[in-house]
Structure formats: C-alpha cells, structure tokens
Amino acid sequence: MYFEIRGDITGLETLAEGRAVRQLERLRRAYGGRHWRKRKGVATVVLPGGRLRQAEIHWYEAHGIGRKRFKIKRFLL
C-alpha cells in the first residue's frame, strides 16, 4: 500500500458481497474466509511525500479476516 490511512473511514457503503465479489476466489486462496464484501468509504490519507488528502477508498473485508487490499479510487476536493 503506497498510502497510510489517518483517522476513521466515514461514509461506509457495501458495493458487493458473497458471490457478487469478482475477486472472491483470489481472496479465499490468499486469506481464507467465507463471506467477503467489497466496501468503500472516505478517509484522510497520507501520500508518500507526506501530503494529506481526502480520498475515496475501496477494500475487501471478511469476518475474522479484517480489511484487505486497500486502494484509492479518487481524490476528493
């Protein structure tokens, strides 16, 4: 991950869950788990140069496994 999340993630929303998650088999092979969800939210992130930005981030999560594979989808104003 080339960024660090500062503070809480707000505006949480589930984009897909269960069989609707496109990367389901890859996630199960890498981390295990049964019921995966793709989620999104807004958070303050610290970029490699130390700059703070608000960004929409997406990730996968499963009960007992936690949040995995964070990515920035877009920066907010």
Q: What is the pLDDT of residues 16-38, one digit of tens each?
A: 999 999 999 999 999 999 999 99
pTM for the whole thing? Answer: 0.91
Q: Please determine, for residue 1, whether its predicted confidence score (pLDDT) is greater than 70.
A: no
Indicate if the pLDDT at residue 56 is higher than 90: yes
Mean pLDDT, residues 43-71 = 97
Query: Which pLDDT score is estimated for 77?
Result: 80
43's CB contacts (< 8 A; 6+ apart) are: 5, 6, 7, 8, 9, 10, 54, 55, 57
Evaluate whether 56 touches 72 at the Cβ level (below 8 Å): yes
